[in-house]
Amino acid sequence: MPTRSGNDAAETGRIALDRAETALLEHYTDLVRLAYLTLSPSLSRHRRVLAAHSAVQRAMPGIRPPRRDAHVPGQRRGDRTDRSERDWARAQVLRTALRYDRCPTGWPGVLPPPRALLPALPFVWGLQLFPRSGGADELALAQALSGAPAPARAAFVLCRVDHLSEESTAELLAAAGVEKPAVALRGARQLETSAGALAEALLRSREFDACSVQTRPTDLLRRRRRRLLACTAAGAAAITLATVAVVGPRAVGPSSAPTGSSSRALATGALDPARLVRTPRDEWADTARVDFTAWPARGDRTDDRDLLARALGSWAGPAPGTRTAATSTTPTQPPSSPPQLLYAGDVDDRTVVLFGDGDRIARYTEPSPASSDDVSDQAFVVHASTRDTSGSTPTWDVARTDDADVTTAAAVAVTRGGGKVRYLTAPWIAEAETRDLLRPDTPAKTLPVRPDGVTAPVAGADVKSCASRPVLQLRSSSRIVEKHSFLLTDLGGLSPVHLTHTPLPGGGTPPARQPREATSSTALLAWAHSACALDGLRGAGVRSVNAWDFAQQELPENGGRAVWTCARATTWRGPGSVQVQLRTPGGPPSAPARVVAHQGSTAACGRFGQHVVAAAHWKSGAGHWYTLAAGSRAVTDVTLSGTVKDKHAGRTLAVRAPHDARLRVGARLDNGETLVGLGEQGGTRDD
């Protein structure tokens, strides 16, 4: 009698229906947990719960074609389903969940990715599902997971909950379509370091159990209005059809159906001024979650119902003449539950209203009663980085703020005009100052702040000539963090960007240090050389920028000491870009460092990419050309290939080379792994 090997599923990606069902049902809870933790944190918890169950249920063969190139680890007996069948199920679930991180650029985060979860079963009507909330440890782990790439989250769950070896985990990730399983495993190790010995217990807690959920109704008022809208539309359609039948097609004029904006407004019952969330004034000092949710409602017009109604109405559908903008990848749809009121008041010649809905902040402005002018009858959209809130038109801006903290939720730009910005500071800010990054030796100046938290105007950056780079230097209250000062800079968005610094490795310090606040003399000097590079990040939805001095090098021919810096810009949506900069001796403190390599959408120079190597051309004082290379702390030797080939033990290398030589640089780490250099060196010269 013919028999089938238990490894068939692993080798062909196919599996019998009865065996597939047994594997899915027997391990359903673990598979749903794996999908839930792998799915994008940008989804709401309700959507993640449904998407996780859908990913598992869609794993049955026949629903979508199997991938013949999929390969999962071989058979290991243990329970009713052999290991190959369970690994087959994991690979199918992971492949679906990982598609959320491979959506086309600009794909709305609230919609499932193409060909991923459509049709989406199970389907829930009239209820919101969400796991039960955990404690502070679970919240900290959730925040750490949200900052990790999806493959790293998947690897973390497979290793810590399912107890797979790293080799088996890598094979599963490859079967699910992950291009670089080794990178995902490194990210999983970092997450394990953060979670510690409690990792498995936390991952199995109710915070991450998508099979044990709570329910609550969706917005009842919105559902009622939808029914009314549906009835109205059905009645209008019936009247239209009757008119066509009696009078004829030429008697039918333009459609009188509600426009998209008015339909959205009617369907969003959460946008009711009476239902706005208002946080108690002193809650920020008595909560472990110090972010926008702890902001009280401030301003002298928080009880102006008409103003709040106009502002909320702009979220559902901006009126004609309203200028609208959203930062990169920010969903613009109205919230499903009442948002939080952060501010409503008059600032200069504008009336400003700020809302928060947990993952976003929204700002509405209009001319104040004393300076109202005629409003243009045509709406238009402008880029968020060029927004000017002065003028005679209402404006509407929305930006992502998911997982904001004590620094990234410390200020919001409320008005912008005449080259200056006013900010609304968080209630935990005890002291506000300004300083110029290009003048590190100049003391900070006190920034006046109104009782409602609005600052005096702050000069913007001189983008054309980079002659100045004003930044905010804020200090939080001792009720939050004792003498905690930090820097924020304006890059055109609603929330300013947090600047940090990681200094050169010193004796006795651990290799994996966290970024520090950029307020020390060393940090200010480093940022004086890197400040002008910030202008290239305007409008990119950047959350923070860290300047990491990863190596220093003695230059040939007694040229002095050079410092290598990797500046990483991390966006609110997660991915980031890096620039490698080389600072050579001589020149003023504000002389811009030379950019020698850059790369986008990378984990390099961050928490999950702590190793880097790069190369650059350099000319000595005597006119001789060299190729320099340097690596981070774990580098043991550096290799050059291309026009010039060389290998040198240690973290730095300097070799005579033509000024136009095209080179590739690599390195070996102390754990035996190889490292590819950032960017491709060639034609970059220090004239």
- Quick check: 290 and 443 in contact, CB under 8 A? no
What are the residues facing 432 on neighbouring strands?
A: 474
Q: Residue 429's pLDDT is what? A: 96
Confidence bin at 392 (pLDDT 50/70/90): confident
- Quick check: 581 and 529 in contact, CB under 8 A? yes
Confidence bin at 241 (pLDDT 50/70/90): low
- For the stretch 403-419, pLDDT in tens is 899 999 999 999 998 88
Average pLDDT, the chain: 80
Average pLDDT over residues 544-572: 95
Average pLDDT over residues 530-553: 92
- For the stretch 128-149, pLDDT in tens is 776 776 666 777 787 788 778 8
The residues, any chain, with a CB within 8 Å of residue 452's CB and separated by 6 or more, are 298, 299, 300, 343, 345, 424
DSSP-derived letter for residue 198 is: G
Q: Residue 61's pLDDT is what? A: 64
CB atoms within 10 A of CB 468: 15
Q: Where are the alpha helices (DSSP H) in 42-147?
A: 45-57, 83-98, 136-146
- Quick check: 367 and 349 in contact, CB under 8 A? yes
CB atoms within 10 A of CB 652: 19
- Quick check: 413 and 509 in contact, CB under 8 A? no
Backbone angles phi, psi at 59, to 5 degrees: -75, -10
The percentage of residues in the chain with a pLDDT greater than 70, rounded to a whole number, is 76
DSSP-derived letter for residue 204 is: T
Is the alpha carbon torsion for 429, 433, 436, 441 positive or negative?
negative
Token pair, residue 282, equals: 């002193």
Average pLDDT over residues 515-533: 94
* Helix/strand/coil percent split, the chain, to 5: 30, 25, 45
- For the stretch 333-377, pLDDT in tens is 888 889 999 999 999 999 999 999 988 999 999 998 865 443 333
Helix (H, G, I), strand (E, B) or coil at 214: strand
Strands (E), 106-260: 127-131, 213-217
Task: Please spell the DSSP secondary structure of 140-154, one letter per residue.
Answer: HHHHHHHTS-HHHHH
Q: Which range (119-123, 431-435, 571-575, 589-593) has the least confidence?
A: 119-123
Q: Residue 460's pLDDT is what? A: 85
- Quick check: 644 and 663 in contact, CB under 8 A? yes
Q: Where are the alpha helices (DSSP H) in 422-575?
A: 521-530
DSSP-derived letter for residue 275 is: G
Helix (H, G, I), strand (E, B) or coil at 307: helix
Distances from the Cα of 66 to the Cα of 15, 69, 179, 579, angstroms: 9, 9, 18, 41
Average pLDDT over residues 63-89: 53
**In terms of C-beta density within 10 A (0-12 exposed, 13-18 middle, 19 or more buried), how is residue 683 classed?**
exposed
Provide the angle, in degrees to the nearest 10, between the axes of the packed helices 150-160 and 83-98.
160
Distances from the Cα of 305 to the Cα of 121, 302, 308, angstroms: 41, 8, 5
Q: What angle do CA 493, 498, 503 make, to 5 degrees?
A: 150
The residues, any chain, with a CB within 8 Å of residue 212's CB and separated by 6 or more, are 131, 132, 206
d(CA 186, CA 209): 25
Backbone angles phi, psi at 324, to 5 degrees: -120, 150
d(CA 94, CA 84): 15
Query: Beta strand 576-583 with 561-571: parallel, antiparallel or unpaired?
Result: antiparallel
Residue with more model confidence, 53 or 686: 53
d(CA 332, CA 363): 12
